[in-house]
Amino acid sequence: MPHVTIQYTANLDPEAKMGVLCASLAEVICAQRDGDGRRVFPIGGTRVMAYPAFAHAVADGAPDRAFVYLNVRIAPGRAARLVAATGEALMAAVRSHFAALFATRPLGITLQIDEGAPAFDAKHSNLHPLFTGK
């Protein structure tokens, strides 16, 4: 983790450029550092996935309404100020990414970070070793 899921109304494609947004958010996550300059999140556990909805209704249901919901799941235990800083940095990237679209159409954006502890948690990865010492 972090695990980022982007759910959005398909009326934003192709202008939404979701591949670019995914790469941008992964970069923001990997750039986070604590007060001692250490990484807040492991590179190898970072993933961002985007899903356009097959069908949707937003607000009053008029066809031009659009929405982007970003859910970030992280493991519990990090300092609240680091979580907040991560959220602010991600939202800044999201706002920047959608600035042109936001100026021209009805659009809602919500970003939430959840840190709920799972009842069971198992990992199997060969990604982490790729970034040892980085």
Q: Give the burial string for 73-84 (b: 16+ CB within 10 Å, else e).
A: ebeeebeeebbe
Task: Establish if 39 lies at the interface with a copy of itself (CB under 8 A).
Answer: no
Between residue 41 and residue 100, which ones bind a copy of itself under the rule CB under 8 A? 43-61, 65, 67, 69, 72, 74, 80, 83-84, 86-88, 91, 94-95
17, 97 contact by CB (below 8 A): yes
Binds a copy of itself (CB under 8 A): choice among 37, 122, 132, 133: 122
Task: Establish if 9 lies at the interface with a copy of itself (CB under 8 A).
Answer: yes
What DSSP character marks residue 68?
E
Binds a copy of itself (CB under 8 A): choice among 2, 11, 12, 18: 18
